[in-house]
Structure 1
Amino acid sequence: MYVNNTSIKLPQDPHTVVWKYLDLSKFLDLLLSQKLFMSRSDKFEDQYEGTFSEPTFEEIKKLSQDNPDFLNYYKKHREKVAISSWHINEYESFAMWQIFTQNTEGLAIQSTIGRLQQSLQIEKEYQQYIGEVNYIDYKKEHIPFDDLFFPFLFKRKSFQYEGEVRIITDIGESEVKINEGLKINIDINTLIEKIYIHPKSENWYKNLVIQLVKQLGFDFTIEKSDLESEILI
């Protein structure tokens, strides 16, 4: 279930376009399971994920001098938070294709902020929050810690190209242990507005995706990326 947290920054326009770039196997897993995979926050490639900037860490260290469990709680909390990353952009991104898809056999899900919110309503066991990532200088700038989600909504400025918005699930109150990640129920037809096929893919690959999607009972609009369209001269 999506929960609105007013302290978390999010684009106000529900029609704001978001993207998820992934390979075919992950896409098929999404359709077959009708569940969205969310990665455990401390399993991301960025070792700073879910941690604090230097000014904030120094502040927390002072607060934890008489209460060491205070700092330990934040460290352990990363194991209880799972994240699904999406890219905010009105248009598809050449950089995202390069980073998040292998070879030429990838695709992109186009959705919106409003669709993300609505598609999460069928998940009843865990609550989800959606927030836009803030990009800051970790050596100079402060990350608030009056909300447990804030460490997961700040990243270093070197990741600013990601333009990321995140679905966050916190199972801190649950006895469930997350290994690599967590799957949550999601309304696939609400989530997906359109599918784009990798710009360098062959026609057979596009036809394969169309056929697989149809056989699984879905009727999405599927288009070849126009980043490789013919030059007009």
Structure 2
Amino acid sequence: MYKNNPNITLPENPDTIVWKYLDLSKFLDLLLSRKLFMSRSDKFEDQYEGTFSEPTFEEIKKLSVNNPEFLNYYKSHREKVVISSWHINEYESFAMWQIFTQNSEGLAIQSTIGRLQKAMEVEKDFNQYIGEVNYIDYKKEYIPFDDMFFPFLFKRKSFQYEREVRIIADLSEQDIKINDGLKIEVDICQLIEKIYIHPKSENWYKKLVIELVDKLGFDFEIEKSDLESDILI
């Protein structure tokens, strides 16, 4: 279930548009299972994921001198936190298409912050939180650690182009084995407002996506990418 955390910041407007770029197999898995896959935080490509900046780490080391378990807990905690990443943008992002889809056969889910919050309400086994990622200089800037989610809501400035908002769940209290991640229950019709098809995809692929969505019993609005618009000259 979605929970509000006053320490976690989000855009004030619930109609803020967010996107998820993914390939067809992951999209079909979402529709068939009606579950959203969330990755284990220490399995992300960025090795800094869920870690601390240098100033914060120095402070934690001081606190850990007489309590080594304090630091060990933060290290192991990354294995129990799962994340689903979304991109904040009023429009499609050419860069996101390039990074997260391959072979011109990707899709983009368009949603909003408010829709994400409502979509999370059907999961009853554990709580999810939604927060906007802060981009900082890990050599100079401080990450607070008075909230266990804070390490997962900061990234290096090099990733600022991602403009990321995250669905996060802490499974520390759950007796669940997590390999690469796990799936959570979601209200698919709340989660997905529109679907955009890769701007470089062929017509057969577009027809295939439309047919598959229809056969699975969904009636999402399916758009061709705005980046595919005809040239006016």
Q: Specify the SS of the correspondent of 2:139.
A: coil
Q: Specify the SS of the correspondent of 1:169.
A: strand
1:141-163 per-position Cα deviation (integer Å, ceiling 9, x unaligned): 00000000000000000000000
Superposition TM-score, scaled by structure 2 size: 0.99
2-structure distance, mates of 1:42, 1:70: 18
Q: Specify the SS of the correspondent of 2:119.
A: helix
Shift of 1:176: 1.2
Deviation larger for 69-78 or 223-232: 223-232
Gaps of 5+ in 1: none
1:12-45 per-position Cα deviation (integer Å, ceiling 9, x unaligned): 1000000000000000000000000000000000
1:24-74 per-position Cα deviation (integer Å, ceiling 9, x unaligned): 000000000000000000000000000000000000000000000000000
- Runs of at least 4 residues off by over 2 Å: none
One-letter identity of the residue aligned with 1:122: V
1:181-226 per-position Cα deviation (integer Å, ceiling 9, x unaligned): 0100000001100000000001111110000000000000001102
2-structure distance, mates of 1:200, 1:62: 53
1-structure distance, mates of 2:119, 2:42: 25
1-structure distance, mates of 2:157, 2:190: 32
For residues 49-68 of structure 1, the aligned pairs below 5 Å read 49-68=49-68
Q: Specify the SS of the correspondent of 2:38.
A: strand
Shift of 1:229: 1.4
Give the equivalent residue in structure 2 for 1:155.
Answer: 155
For residues 1-233 of structure 1, the aligned pairs below 5 Å read 1-233=1-233
Determine if contact 2:38/2:183 at 8 Å carries over to the other structure: yes
Determine if contact 2:92/2:226 at 8 Å carries over to the other structure: no
Shift of 1:174: 1.4
2-structure distance, mates of 1:15, 1:131: 15
1-structure distance, mates of 2:206, 2:65: 58
Deviation larger for 68-77 or 175-184: 175-184
2-structure distance, mates of 1:226, 1:146: 43
Gaps of 5+ in 2: none
Superposition TM-score, scaled by structure 1 size: 0.99
2-structure distance, mates of 1:224, 1:103: 16
1:96-143 per-position Cα deviation (integer Å, ceiling 9, x unaligned): 000000110000000000000000000000100000000000000000
2-structure distance, mates of 1:8, 1:170: 14
Shift of 1:228: 2.1
1-structure distance, mates of 2:80, 2:190: 27
Q: Specify the SS of the correspondent of 1:145.
A: coil
2-structure distance, mates of 1:176, 1:26: 22
One-letter identity of the residue aligned with 2:35: K
One-letter identity of the residue aligned with 1:44: F
2-structure distance, mates of 1:226, 1:144: 40
Shift of 1:175: 1.9
